[in-house]
Amino acid sequence: MARPLRIQYRGALYHILSRGNEKKNIFLDNGDYEKFIQILAMLPKRFGVVIYGYVLMSNHYHLLVETPEANIVRAIHLLNTVYAVYFNDKYERAGHLFQGRYVAFLIEKEEYLLAVSRYIHLNPVRAGIVAAGAAEDYEWSSCSDYVMRFKKHRWLNREWILSQFDSRENSALKLYRKFIGESEGRQDNPFDNLKSGMVIGSERFLACLRKKIGAINDREIPNKRELNNALPLEAIIAAVADEFNVMPSEIKSPRRRSNSARGVCLYLIRRLMGLPNNEIGNMFGIGYSGVSQAALRIKKEAEKDGELKERLERIEQKIVRFGERESLKEE
């Protein structure tokens, strides 16, 4: 079955939900929660996204994210990938941390952002972790930022939601706390208004969305290349060079007839970035057929050679580390 397209457009607002693989925990101690929030804090500067709220539960998380640019795929891919590498390294495990692809619900901002904000902030109450009336006591949620005068996270945008209650901050904070409490004793689920399996909004919003999608340029529809451009090409080359203990220039050199590092690099660039063979070939001074043959050879060898397969997995972890390092340089 084909995976559903991720709908991306400028100004889109999403409720993101991502669960642990096989519903297993993705946070095992306080350090894990803190690390995830540190990575989350990178996204507004790195991608220009607006984060309105979050809650981290033991085996899943919820986010409220708006994208001034059409880049939700890149932002969440980086978040999940960097955290998964951290988690696997810390607990000496391998394999997928998250259960398939995250879920992204599109939200009609003016009508439903408040309701979805309340819904995610009440997760710990519904789970029985904190008492009714004390949602802000849950440490791994943005709820306290909405009821206290001084917010914990400067990168969190609470201004739009609070402005819907009152122009005076102190009054808005009190009204938001009251708003949270209003639904603690009853079922109040904005997903009752879910349309087309992914839209939280009115019929008018759904109709506008259909028109917008039809007008979106193909480059704004997420695909393999869009998905993986969150990490720079230089990160792939640097990680392969580090693994093979060679200089990046040696990997790019077409003069060396036997160059295992170059073959692995070509394979990873084609698989992770989805670039066409001729574009990759131009980077490395070889023909498009040479790219195809080298990548296919590595793929077949990895299917038979467990050691090579492990090496490729190790390189991918290094790619994320190099990519994260580059991201931090841009902060």
On the CB side of 80, how many CA atoms lie within 13 Å of its CA?
26
If we measure between CA atoms, which residue out of 6, 10, 20 comes closest to residue 104? 6
pLDDT of residue 29: 96
How does pLDDT run across 175-208, given as a tens digit for each residue?
999 998 876 545 567 877 777 778 898 888 888 8
Amino acid at 75: A
How does pLDDT run across 115-163, given as a tens digit for each residue?
999 999 999 999 999 998 899 999 999 999 999 988 889 999 999 999 9
pLDDT value at 111 more than 70: yes
What superfamily in CATH does domain 231-330 come from? DnaA protein, C-terminal DNA-binding domain (1.10.1750.10)
- Report the 10 Å Cβ neighbour count for 133: 13
CA dihedral 73, 27, 309, 282 (to 10 degrees): 30
Amino acid at 47: F
Average pLDDT over residues 236-265: 84
Residue, of 280 and 48, whose pLDDT is higher: 48
Average pLDDT over residues 91-102: 88
- In 312-322, which positions are buried (b, 16+ CB within 10 angstroms) versus exposed (e)? beebbbbbbbb
Q: Are strands 12-19 and 60-67 parallel, antiparallel or unpaired?
A: antiparallel
pLDDT of residue 35: 96
How does pLDDT run across 203-213, given as a tens digit for each residue?
888 888 877 76
CA–CA separation, 179 vs 213, rounded Å? 34
pLDDT of residue 189: 77
pLDDT of residue 328: 41
Residue, of 108 and 313, whose pLDDT is higher: 108
φ/ψ of 4, rounded to 5, equals -65, 145
Helices (H), the chain: 30-40, 43-47, 72-90, 109-121, 123-126, 159-163, 169-182, 203-215, 224-228, 233-244, 248-252, 260-273, 277-284, 288-304, 306-330
Query: How many residues are listed for the chain in this entry?
Result: 331
pLDDT of residue 325: 54
pLDDT value at 231 more than 60: no
On the CB side of 272, how many CA atoms lie within 13 Å of its CA?
27
Percent of the chain past pLDDT 70, that is, above it, reads 85
Q: What is the pTM for the complete model shown?
A: 0.66
In a 3-state reduction of DSSP, which class is residue 97?
Answer: coil
Pick the CATH number of 12-224 from 3.30.70.360, 3.40.50.300, 3.30.70.1290, 3.40.50.1980: 3.30.70.1290
pLDDT of residue 321: 64
* Cα four-point dihedral sign 121, 135, 100, 306: positive
- Report the 10 Å Cβ neighbour count for 21: 14
Average pLDDT over residues 235-246: 89
Mean pLDDT across the chain? 84
The DSSP call for residue 102 is: P
pLDDT of residue 273: 67
Q: Are strands 103-107 and 12-19 parallel, antiparallel or unpaired?
A: antiparallel
On the CB side of 84, how many CA atoms lie within 13 Å of its CA?
24
Residue ranges of the domains in the chain?
Answer: 12-224, 231-330
Amino acid at 140: W
Do 240 and 204 contact (CB within 8 A), yes or no?
A: no
Does this chain's domain 12-224 share its CATH topology with 231-330? no
224's tokens: 């393999």
263's tokens: 């073959």
Average pLDDT over residues 314-330: 62
pLDDT of residue 50: 98
pLDDT of residue 68: 96
How does pLDDT run across 256-314, given as a tens digit for each residue?
656 788 899 998 888 776 667 888 888 888 888 888 888 889 988 988 888 898 888 88
